[in-house]
Amino acid sequence: MMIRRHQTALVNKRFGAGFTLIELVAVILLIGIIASTVASRAFTTGDAALQTARDDIVAAVNFAQQQAMDTDGAVVLAITSTTVAVSRDSVPLQFGSVSYPLELPSRVSVAPNATLAFNRLGESSPQVFTLSVGTETTTVSVSAAGYAN
């Protein structure tokens, strides 16, 4: 009987070794901290602000173009260094929950200030806008056909 207990204890020690729940939670926590640190360094807030401002301007150009093709009246897109506005006959327009003029994300500046008028065919004068946050920049091009990219 003594031999059997000793053998059972050896078997339990040899095959029962594993990770405890606390050890597993600690490893998962460390992996999460490392992943969040790497992700925060890979994506700066300047990148996000630039992308948001770029998307806002492209959406405003597309909205102004659609409004010009759908209705009569002068549809105008006005872009300043910190805002984008769409209006028809000098009345600001609203698209869903977005009311124009729309403030661009803080720290983002746009150059040059410009006003684009869209005709009944959705055409406008070509323009290139440069958006910047610190040293990071991106551009939005509006073609003569009124398309933005």
Q: What is the pLDDT of residues 77-125, one digit of tens each?
A: 999 999 999 999 889 999 889 999 999 998 899 999 999 999 999 999 9
pLDDT tens-digit series, residues 27-59: 999 999 999 888 776 666 678 889 999 999 999
Q: Which fold has domain 45-142?
A: minor pseudopilin epsh fold (3.55.40)
84: part of which helix (H) or strand (E)? strand 83-88
Q: Where are the domains of the chain?
A: 45-142
How would you classify residue 134: left for phi > 0, otherwise alpha for psi between -120 and 50, otherwise beta?
Answer: left
Q: Are 55 and 104 contacting, i.e. CB atoms less than 8 angstroms apart? A: no
What is residue 73's three-state secondary structure?
Answer: coil
Can you tell me the distance from the alpha carbon of 66 to that of 121, in angstroms, rounded to the nearest whole number?
A: 9
Q: For residue 109, what are the CA distances in angstroms to 31, 82, 102, 143? A: 37, 6, 13, 21
What is residue 130's three-state secondary structure?
Answer: strand
